[in-house]
Amino acid sequence: MTARLIRGTEIAAEIREELAARVRALKAQGIVPGLATILVGEDPASQSYVRAKNKTAHDLGIHSEQHNLPAATTEAGLLALIAACSANPALNGILVQLPLPRHISESRVLAHIDPAKDVDGFHPVNVGRMLLGEPCFLPCTPHGIVAMLQRSGVATAGAEVVVVGRSNIVGKPVAALLMQKGPGGNATVTLCHTATRDMAAHTRRADILIVAAGRPKMITADMVRENAVVIDVGVNRIGVRENGRAILAGDVDFEAVVEKAGAITPVPGGVGPMTITMLMVNTVLAAERAHGLAE
């Protein structure tokens, strides 16, 4: 039996409709949510991501400002721009596109963003609040994964969840979110990584398997439990089509696993659309909080 597809494109569209209504309600009160995106250098993938973020903001009625800085920008220059955006009341969210050039400290840059405008959810204050289960801005991809599970009717309470990958962007935070008390959490979580012995022994136990390892098709059908829910976060370029477009593959061997799993996300069209959507969720929430309309 072929697995049910969990389509992030469709779920993201639902959330964006809800967000558009919230933006209209804010504008009726004279409030326009504002987002600043900052890109250092000319990495093609980063340029594409930032364009998509600004287009989504525009489509939702969110004011967006894009700051493109040369790769030679100094760390002090970048921090000064972040400080100016933090002080601008018209901007509710600030996003610094990662990765940064090697001469700039990612940790210092992220810590320089006002936590109240940290719509990427990477500031140490927001990371700490997330771990404590306190109100905060959640990192966008993990937040999107939890939203996908909830809106797809996948029960997390009591579920055996295995996360493959321990990055600060996906693996660690999604594990933390799923083990929290409350809706979308209460799972028993195992986190696997490059030093895990016999990874397949862990992945085969999973009711919900989340893979964010950055290795194309590393999860094969023999590593997946029958009827498991599989969330594939990976986006790997494995070739180029005749028309010049990239051939993409996830971290899961989709063609084989789709015949065994109960539900699975495709690549593309799975987790990807959720990340930008949850960035917009955070931006609107930041505007609501700035005006005392949300906790």
Residues comprising the binding site for NADP(+)?
165-167, 235
| Catalytic, out of 27, 29, 43, 53 | 53
Q: Which of 43, 59, 114, 120 is catalytic?
A: 120
Q: Which token pair is 276? A: 């930008």
The annotation places the binding site at: 165-167, 235
Q: Which of 27, 43, 55, 97 is catalytic?
A: 97
How far is it, in rounded angstroms, from Cα 237 to Cα 247? 6
Q: Residue 62: left if φ>0, alpha if ψ -120 to 50, beta else—which one?
A: beta
Q: What one-character-per-residue DSSP string does 172-209 give?
A: HHHHHHHHSSSTT---EEEEE-TT-SSHHHHHTT-SEE
Reply yes or no on whether 97 is catalytic: yes
Rounded distance between C-alpha atoms, residue 191 and residue 14, angstroms: 30
Task: Give per-residue burial for 129-157: e unless 16+ CB within 10 Å, then b.
Answer: bbeeeeebbbbbbbbbbbbbbebbebebe
Contact yes or no for 203/219 (Cβ under 8 A): yes
120: annotated active-site residue: yes
What Cα–Cα distance (Å) separates residue 115 from each residue in 34, 72, 121?
15, 26, 8
Which residues are identified as catalytic? Answer: 53, 97, 120
